[in-house]
Structure formats: C-alpha cells, structure tokens
Chain A
Amino acid sequence: MVRFQDVSLRYGAGPEILDRVSLDLAPGSFHFVIGASGAGKSSLLKMMYLANRPTSGRISLFGRDVASLSRHDAALLRRRIGVVFQDFRLLDHLSTLDNVALPLKVSGQRSDEIRKDVVELLTWVGLADHLDAKPATLSGGQQQRVAIARAVVSRPSLLLADEPTGNVDNRIAERLLYLFEELNKRGTTIVVATHNESLISRFNYPVIRLVRGEVRLEHAETLIRSSDMPARPPVEPGDRDTSLPVDGEPGSAG
C-alpha cells in the first residue's frame, strides 16, 4: 500500500528532515507515527499524501511509483487518500455540508448523490443539525469531526491523520481513535501521526518511531512498545464508544 525505499527529504539547503527512511505499510494496516516535535512526522505524512516529493529515494503508493505519475494520475491517486490535517483546513466561507462535500465535488460526482452521502456521514459523526453551519460557528471538536468526515467521505483506501488529537482531551482523543479503528476494520489503511504516547499505549498497533529523521524500525509492521508504554487493557464491546461528543458536551474542545 505505502512503500518508502531509502527516502530522504530536505527543504532547500536545510538539514535532512528524513534520512533514508524505508518502510512498508500493508493494505488494511494501522500505524502510529510518533516522534518529538521536528522529528519529521508531518513531513513523512506529507510525502504519503503527495504534498511533498522526496529529495532522494523512491515512494510507491498503491503499487505505483510516485515519481513516474503524471499530474493527472497523481490527482486521481490523491482521491484515494483521505487526510485529516492538523489545523483541519476547513474553508470558512463554506457550510459544513459544502466542506465535507468537497472531495466528492472535485471528483465530479453528481450533486444529488453528493448530498445524500454527505448528510449520511454528517449524521454518523453527530453533525446532522449543523449542515449549514459555517466552521467559525462550530466548536473545535465539531470542526475536527467535519475534518474527519471530509477525509473519509470519498471512502479512501488510505487515511492519514496528522496530530488529530492535538486539540482535544484524552477522552475525545480515545473516541477518535476508536472511530479510526472502525474505519480500519472496514478495510481502510490508517496512519496516525501523534506525539501522545500515552494514547498509543492503549491501542495495540505498530508504531513508526522517528528520531532525528530516521525510522527506528526495520520493519514497520513490527510493534514497537517501549517499556514505559503499557499495553491497552482489553476493551469490552460495550465500552467501545466510537461516537464523538456532540456540541456543548463536556470535553469537546473549542
């Protein structure tokens, strides 16, 4: 699904952000990317969603060499990738409905189909009552859900989330990860960049640790668990809450 072979990245004449990174993420896998600030988490994700190209090395997505993609094919490939940006990147002048509909609209879907899908998804994330609301009128938690809804509305094969839990407390962060887990069970490959190691410890997924631009794994599928990262306690089906808090609910940010 995602393969990096000796991938290095530097911006201009600056230092190496990523230094000969190699990793291989299988379809349907779930990975965390962790590392200190500046370790290159966002840069790694940016290369996965084709916002950055490597200085050297080779990246393959969905079995296709990224370097050989035409602009047209690169755009088609991006449609198979959902991204939850760290700063959400919602368009202030568009309603919730329009924001979530964007990926479908740019891919040329019919308006009536778009509306049906988007309303259904916004209902699922608890925003059915905010279809026409502008992002500025939503809380941080609600904006996050809009961003997630936009990332998954086109049913991407690969979902990348850059610090999605950065603006919310642990309880919402945990629910968000349960939501990602649900999507993963439906076949979506998930990569979540975070610096929240305590949260990672509660979920039993492989970890890609970045230290000074290098991946501390030879095989990304290998579960890394530091000695201070306790395994997640077993979760009973009844305890699992994949719904995100609705507006005004304690704990929602913003």
Chain B
Amino acid sequence: MLLRKSIVPLNSDATGRFLPWLVAVMVYLAALALVSAMAMGKIVTRWDHGLSGQITVQLPVSESDLSKAEIDTRRENVLKLLLQSPGVLSANHIGAVETAALLEPWLGRSSGFSELPLPDLIAVEIDQVEPPNTAVLTARLIEIVPGATIDDHQRWLGNLLNLARSIEIVAALVVLLVGLSAVIMVVFVTRMGLAVHYQIVELLHLIGAQDGYIAREFQGHSLKLGFFGGLVGVALAIVTIFGVGKLLGQADTALLPALTLQPLEWGILGALPFASALVAMLTARLTVLRTLSRIP
C-alpha cells in the first residue's frame, strides 16, 4: 500500500549488505584506538601527579662495606644538608618496606628484596616554583656520600609523556583513517545504489522530486546501516576491553593500569554508533546530491 516510506528499494538489493559489517570492523578499530589513548593518558596523569614536585636521592650501599650505624649517620647528614638547601620543602627516608613496595610493580610480590643490595633512598619534596639546583645539590651530596645521585624523574617522565603523546597521535590517526575508510565505503555503496536504481532516481527527478527528497531515500538507508554497524563494532570492542581488563587484573604487577573507563569515556564509546550513523548519512546525502547535480 501507499505510504510505504521508501520508494527506492535499497533494502532488497545487495548493494549495502556488506556495509554494516565493514562499519562494524571500522568502529571496532576506532574504539580500541580511543581506549588505548585514554588508558595511556590515565597512566601518564597518574605518574605525573605522583612524581611532580619530588626528587629522589639515592645513596649507594653496595660498593662500601658500611655498618648500619655508619649508614644511619651518613643518611642523617644527607637529610640535614637537604633540609638546609633552598627549594627543599621536606626530606624523608624511604624505609625498606616502602622500597620493596616501590619495586613490586617491576619485580612482583614474591621477590626476596632482603637479598638485594638496595640503595638508601630519600624522598625529597621540592618547591615547584623555586626548585633547588640539582647539579649544585648533587655536588654537595657527593662530598658527603661519594656516588650519591639525584633522580628528578623529569627525563623519565618526559619520555613517558612523549610516548603517551605519540600513542594519542597514532590513535587519532587510526580514528581518522578509519573514518576516511568508512566515508569511502559509503560513497561506493551509495554510488552503487544510485547506479542500480538509476531509473527510479531519474523517474523521481522527472516527476518533480527535489534533490533533497531523493537524497533522503539513500541517507536514511545509510543511517540505519551505519548505526547497526556501529553498534556491532562497539559491542565487540567492549567485549575486548573487558577481556583485556581481566587479563591485566590477573597480571602480578601494578605497573600496568587497571583498564576501567570513566562515565565520560563510556559516553565516548557509546557515541561511536551515532557518529558512524551520522558519517554514513551525511556521506550518502552528499554523494547523491553530487551525482544528481550532473542530471539536468
């Protein structure tokens, strides 16, 4: 009966049958790229927050046979020097238990830390506005304890930030390429649909249909396919994320982040089917309008 919504029978032909599955793969890849970028961002933020405004002084113990009393005296001297230095807010010795906890992410819980020649560590909180000159401080420390070093974490953190930024750029490129591929696919599918149904399109044109009316026939179809594909892709991505999250949870290390998403991040993932539907719809519309513009 009349009033069937679509005049061009796009649902009954094969032109768009594979499109949802290709969109699903694309959205799946995009979702994983986004989650990777978000996870990396989280690691960096956590480490950045944990390490900014801090330096660590390491006093070696392996190269000298010192008694415990000598080690304690040496440490006290260093603490005194540090606290008298400009730009140092506080200095605290990191005990054996805390040191073991710090090493746990790298070495796991089962390692025998007591057998290792671990350095004496001092956590120093510094003024971030007027930080101490680490070169001068190191020189003064070496006078008291030969071989003493200062780790200001910045080089390590800087590399990490660069890595994170690289991963974010790669993720953005993946999303961009995936989006571009999706657009190209929709263009081809729409053109195929136009070619298959050219006679119907031409008839509609000749009986007075506006270009937008004809475009709506195709864009509505692409919207549905894009949304369905997007849903499947996101569903597969969520399954993958849960799987990877579970694997990470089982790993005996705290170095890797827990793969849990915040509501906003879930929102971004949830928006992917809508984004794929929108991209598919707009692409189909523009393709049809462009093709129709060549018909007098």
Q: Quick one: CB contact mask for A81-111 with B, threshold 8 Å, 1 for yes?
A: 0010000010101110110011101110001
Interface residue? A132 (CB, 8 A): yes
Do most interface residues of chain B lie in helix, strand or loop, or is the interface mixed?
loop
A114 at the interface (CB under 8 A from B): yes
Assuming the contacts A91-B200, A98-B4, A111-B3, asked whether A106 and B9 have C-beta atoms less than 8 A apart, the reply is no
**B-side interface size class:** 20 to 34
Chain B interface: which of A49-57, A184-192, A238-246? A49-57
From A91, A97, A114, name the one whose CB has the most chain B CB atoms within 10 angstroms: A91
Q: Which residues of B contact A111 (CB under 8 A)?
A: 2-3
A145 within 8 Å of B (CB atoms): no
User: Does B62 make an interface contact (CB < 8 A)?
Assistant: no
Contact with A along B257-296 (1 / 0, CB 8 A): 0000000000000000000000000000000000001001
Given contacts A93-B9, A114-B2, A118-B2, are A78 and B200 in contact (CB under 8 A)?
no
1/0 per residue, CB under 8 A from B, across A146-183: the answer is 00001000100000000000000000000000000000
Cβ–Cβ < 8 Å partners of B208 in chain A: 75-79, 103, 106-107, 154
Q: 1/0 contact trace for A50-78 toward B, CB 8 Å?
A: 11110000000000000000011001111
Q: Taking the complex as formed, is B45 at the interface, i.e. its CB lies under 8 A from any CB of chain A?
A: no
| Complex interface: chain A residues within 8 A of B2 (CB) | 95, 97-98, 101, 105, 111, 114-115, 118
Interface pair A89/B7, CB less than 8 Å apart: no
B-chain residues with CB within 8 Å of residue A95 when the two chains form the complex: 1-2
B97 lies within 8 A of chain A by Cβ: no
Tell me the residues in window 105-135 of chain A with beta carbons closer than 8 Å to chain B beta carbons: 105-107, 111, 114-115, 118, 132
Q: Which residues of A contact B200 (CB under 8 A)?
A: 91
Asked if B174 lies at the interface with its beta carbon under 8 angstroms from chain A, I say no
Given contacts A98-B4, A118-B2, are A53 and B296 in contact (CB under 8 A)? yes
Chain B residues within 8 Å of A154, by CB: 208
CA distance A247 to B100 in the complex (A): 96
A97 in contact with B7 given A49-B206, A51-B296, A106-B213 (CB within 8 Å): no
Name the residue among A71, A97, A101, A103 with the largest chain B CB count within 10 angstroms: A71
Q: List 20 A-B contacts (CB under 8 A).
A: A53-B296, A71-B211, A75-B205, A75-B208, A75-B209, A83-B206, A89-B199, A91-B200, A95-B2, A97-B2, A98-B1, A102-B203, A102-B204, A102-B207, A105-B7, A106-B210, A111-B3, A114-B2, A118-B2, A150-B207
